[in-house]
Amino acid sequence: KNEVEQSPQNLTAQEGEFITINCSYSVGISALHWLQQHPGGGIVSLFMLSSGKKKHGRLIATINIQEKHSSLHITASHPRDSAVYICAVRSRLDFGNEKLTFGTGTRLTIIP
Amino acid sequence: GAGVSQSPSNKVTEKGKDVELRCDPISGHTALYWYRQRLGQGLEFLIYFQGNSAPDKSGLPSDRFSAERTGESVSTLTIQRTQQEDSAVYLCASRGQATYEQYFGPGTRLTVT
């Protein structure tokens, strides 16, 4: 069993739909990251969370530490949101070295 | 300002040859990471440098892999006697002292034939 699991693996939606991508992890963490990988391969950091909720534009990320679960939401989705969204966690056991463990990603396709 | 850069962007090599991949982090970033992403798979941590501390090499898959970084500057990842399973995109990321956010380079796509 992977330490970080994402669902769904693939998601196709119509433009304008509300999108939810889920991430569950099995280890105690000090932080969770959401990353976006564009079709060309470039990776952009979207959020880093250790508790609660963060919002940036149309993107919202939440985390529930007790349930070991995080969600990434996209409101009013647009074709340019099409990308792979990656969840990564920093284990509390890795204190001092900031090593991330990654999920396998969710491939999102938004159809115009 | 300049982001993280990597070179080459693509590298095709024959099995058994050595390759060297380069990462130029964002100026002033003390932390540098190397990751590997095989086709269709998630990112795997390889190695982490933090300033002048001993690097965390716990992710290196075999002794054919090594990496160096001098101070807070350029890093090189070397793969000796390449194997076909080494084919992947190798990504570098750097991080400043006051943040946990990692900035990724564009990656080097390595193909071992």
B14, B3 Cβ separation under 8 angstroms? no
Shortest Cα–Cα distance, B102 to chain A (Å): 7
End-to-end CA distance of chain A, in Å?
A: 36
At residue B71 the predicted structure's pLDDT band, cuts being 50, 70 and 90, is confident
A87, A42 Cβ separation under 8 angstroms? no
* Helix H or strand E segment including B88: strand B88-95
Q: 3-class SS at A23?
A: strand
- Across the interface, whether the CB atoms of A103 and B42 are under 8 A apart is answered yes
Name the phi and psi angles at A79, rounded to 5.
-50, -30
Integer Rg of chain A from CA: 14
Judging contacts by C-beta atoms under 8 Å, the chain B residues touching residue A33 are 100, 102
pLDDT of residue B40: 82
| B5 pLDDT higher than 90 | yes
- Digit-by-digit pLDDT tens for chain A (112 residues) are 568 999 999 999 999 999 999 999 998 888 899 999 987 778 999 999 989 999 999 999 999 999 999 999 999 999 999 999 999 998 765 555 567 889 999 999 999 9
Q: Which of B43, B58, B109 sits opposite A102 (nearest CB)?
A: B43
| Nearest-angstrom CA–CA distance, A46 and A102 | 14
What is the number of CB-based contacts under 8 A between chain A and chain B? 53
Shortest Cα–Cα distance, A10 to chain B (Å): 12
Q: In this structure, what DSSP letter does residue B45 have? A: E
pLDDT of residue B56: 87
| B109 pLDDT higher than 90 | yes
Preceding peptide of B8 cis, ω within 30°:
yes
- Across the interface, whether the CB atoms of A98 and B41 are under 8 A apart is answered no
Q: Is A107 on the interface with B (CB under 8 A)?
A: no
Q: What is the pLDDT of residues A49-72, one digit of tens each?
A: 989 999 999 999 999 999 999 999
Angle at A19 between CA A16 and CA A23, to 5 degrees: 165
| Nearest-angstrom CA–CA distance, A109 and A13 | 6
What is the arrangement of strands in the sheet containing B5-7, beginning at the earlier edge strand?
Answer: B5-7, B19-24, B75-79, B65-69
pLDDT of residue A8: 97
